[in-house]
Amino acid sequence: MTEAIHHFIDGKPVSGRSTRTSDVYWPMTGEVAAKVALADAADVRSAVESAKAAQPGWAATNPQRRARVMMKFVDLLNRDMDKLADRLAREHGKTLADAKGDIQRGLEVAEFACGIPHLLKGDYTEGAGPGIDLYSMRQPLGVVAGITPFNFPAMIPLWKAAPAIACGNAFILKPSERAPSVPMMLAALMIEAGLPPGILNVVNGDKVAVDAILDDPDIMAVGFVGSSTIAQYVYARGAANGKRVQCFGGAKNHMIIMPDADLDLATDALIGAGYGSAGERCMAISVAVPVGPGTAERLLVKLVPRVESLKVGPSTSLDADLGPLVTKAHLDKVRGYVDLGVSEGANLVVDGRDFKLQGYENGFYMGGCLFDHVTPDMRIYKEEIFGPVLSVVRAKDYDEALRLPSEHEYGNGVAIFTRDGDTARDFAARVNVGMVGINVPIPVPLAYYTFGGWKRSGFGDLNQHGPDAIRFYTKTKTITSRWPSGIRAGAEFSIPTMK
């Protein structure tokens, strides 16, 4: 029997009012594994009402006690790591090792949120003026929401929800309908950890649910991760409705390989960052930029056999390098981009389009693809493919290599591989991209820094996790205080000063 996945509202699973559903697949077999409910506006409103009723009591709970709930939640994540990873791998398609990494990077943000008593401390100035003290405090926004993508079903929901909840907000999560199970499991673990019902609600759905979130007057802030087109839509509609909004979109991440680079290290980096998770990462390296013809030829000698020997296997395999893509529709889209690259004149050095896995012929598999002689005018260079496809764009010199990521419309992540400290320092300072790796292919900052891209990769002025998350999910109140013993008689008609 096909499993039914509903919503999680007021501390328990609920079926909701809408009768619409969507198929959830096991990508490694192509089978329909579940039917997920697609919420209507009334279902979203039910979650908001639950959150609105619970939030004042949670905000009044002191930060130390909120931190203890988060600490217990971290313990439960570690306890259930294998179970969560197995479900995530089966439903998304990424390997078990990659699924554990997905959960771990989310867990680390929950660990950061355990420091909320310190993170919420305000400022205090005694004697700012005659008998006047000045201080500030951070207070929660109220009910906030997160709209998260299929490719990180644990990490990004935790990046959004953990800081928001620790700050004293109630949170509405709308995960991807393609991978809804793990977010539901996370919500149940939050309740087990001691979170009051209503503080974390999960509403599954599609654009109908998204629009209901963006239009609901009781939702004060919305965070989003997905494609740039939808990110811009969410940002514009949410802001037009008076909400605080942060949205993160697509990417085209370059890796610059300088002539002095360790090519074995660079090749390992390209293989892992380009083809891990079948390329379904917003921080995947999709463009390799060798500098100089000699560098390109030496790199390809090492890179081509590695791409040809990639191990594609079922998500539960312990020795697979990558698993299947998330859906048949996405597989067809990625294959279509490879077809396009061939028609545009790029040299398809390794062709994985027709890969079939024995015993899993109906799964959504694709082998690694490698293009050479890709040029900046090609669509396969301009657009995000989100699959196991790496493009080699040859740069004649360092200045051209620097311009490529700097002038691209996306600005999420970039990496440079070199042994030269001056080159690395100059690149980090000048490149027009939000996150930079130096001999690090996927420069995702740790939880106590912030994550976010520039240009069409990010909309809004605050990033995810780290100190920016605390700023995003709270509002600052500043108090100027003077007691009667320090008050001079008489009205003052000019603007107050400390002169």
Quick: pLDDT tens for 191-215.
Answer: 999 999 999 999 999 999 999 999 9
Nearest to 415 by CA among 106, 423, 341, 303: 423
- Give the count of domains, the chain: 2
Please determine, for residue 316, whether its predicted confidence score (pLDDT) is greater than 60: yes
Task: Answer yes or no: do 184 and 284 share one domain.
Answer: no
116 is a domain residue: yes
Please determine, for residue 172, whether its predicted confidence score (pLDDT) is greater than 60: yes
Longest dimension (CA), the chain: 90
d(CA 473, CA 145): 10
Task: Answer yes or no: do 55 and 157 share one domain.
Answer: yes
d(CA 480, CA 136): 9
Please determine, for residue 130, whether its predicted confidence score (pLDDT) is greater than 70: yes
- pLDDT tier for residue 488 given thresholds of 50, 70 and 90: low
234 is a domain residue: yes
d(CA 106, CA 233): 26
Q: The CATH number of the domain where 40 resides is what? A: 3.40.605.10
Task: Answer yes or no: do 166 and 178 share one domain.
Answer: yes
Q: What is the DSSP letter of 386?
A: -
Task: Answer yes or no: do 124 and 224 share one domain.
Answer: yes
- pLDDT tier for residue 492 given thresholds of 50, 70 and 90: confident
SS3 126: strand
Quick: pLDDT tens for 412-465.
Answer: 999 999 999 999 999 999 999 999 999 999 999 999 999 999 999 999 989 999
Backbone angles phi, psi at 36, to 5 degrees: -105, 135
357 is a domain residue: yes
All residues at 6 or more sequence positions from 403 whose CB lies less than 8 Å from its CB, including other chains: none
- Can you give the residue range of the structural domain that contains 65? 3-249+457-479
Q: Which of 114, 167, 247, 282 is catalytic?
A: 282
Quick: pLDDT tens for 40-57.
Answer: 999 999 999 999 999 999
Task: Give pLDDT, residue 345.
Answer: 97
124 is a domain residue: yes
Q: pTM for the complete prediction?
A: 0.94
Task: Answer yes or no: do 429 and 474 share one domain.
Answer: no
Q: Is 114 a catalytic residue?
A: no
Percent of the chain's residues with pLDDT above 90: 94
486 is a domain residue: no
Task: Give pLDDT, residue 486.
Answer: 55
- Provide mean pLDDT across the span 245-272: 97
Task: Answer yes or no: do 269 and 410 share one domain.
Answer: yes
Please determine, for residue 495, whether its predicted confidence score (pLDDT) is greater than 80: no
User: Which one has a higher pLDDT value, 404 or 499?
Assistant: 404
455-468: b (≥16 Cβ within 10 Å) or e: bbbbbbebbbbbeb
- Provide mean pLDDT across the span 345-364: 96
- Within 167-262, where are the H helices? 181-192, 207-215, 228-240
N-terminal to C-terminal alpha carbon distance within the chain: 77
Task: Give pLDDT, residue 491.
Answer: 72
Quick: pLDDT tens for 261-272.
Answer: 999 999 999 999
485 is a domain residue: no
- Among the listed ranges 87-91, 125-129, 359-363, which one has the minimum average pLDDT value? 125-129
8 Å CB contact between 433 and 405 = yes
What's the order of all strands across the beta sheet hosting 3-5? 3-5, 31-37, 21-26
Please determine, for residue 13, whether its predicted confidence score (pLDDT) is greater than 60: yes
390 is a domain residue: yes
d(CA 147, CA 173): 6
d(CA 254, CA 274): 10
Task: Answer yes or no: do 297 and 230 share one domain.
Answer: no
Please determine, for residue 319, whether its predicted confidence score (pLDDT) is greater than 60: yes
Task: Answer yes or no: do 274 and 355 share one domain.
Answer: yes
Query: Given CA atoms 424, 430, 431, 433 in this order, what sign does their dihedral have?
Result: positive
8 Å CB contact between 283 and 444 = yes
d(CA 429, CA 354): 42
Task: Give strand pairing partners of 312.
Answer: 322
- pLDDT tier for residue 129 given thresholds of 50, 70 and 90: confident
Residue where a domain stops, chosen among 389, 409, 438: 438
208 is a domain residue: yes
Mean pLDDT of the chain: 95
Token representation of residue 133: 């003290």
Q: Return the amino acid letter for 423.
A: T
Task: Answer yes or no: do 204 and 222 share one domain.
Answer: yes
Task: Answer yes or no: do 283 and 193 share one domain.
Answer: no
Query: Given CA atoms 179, 185, 187, 193 in this order, what sign does their dihedral have?
Result: negative
8 Å CB contact between 447 and 291 = no
8 Å CB contact between 238 and 261 = no
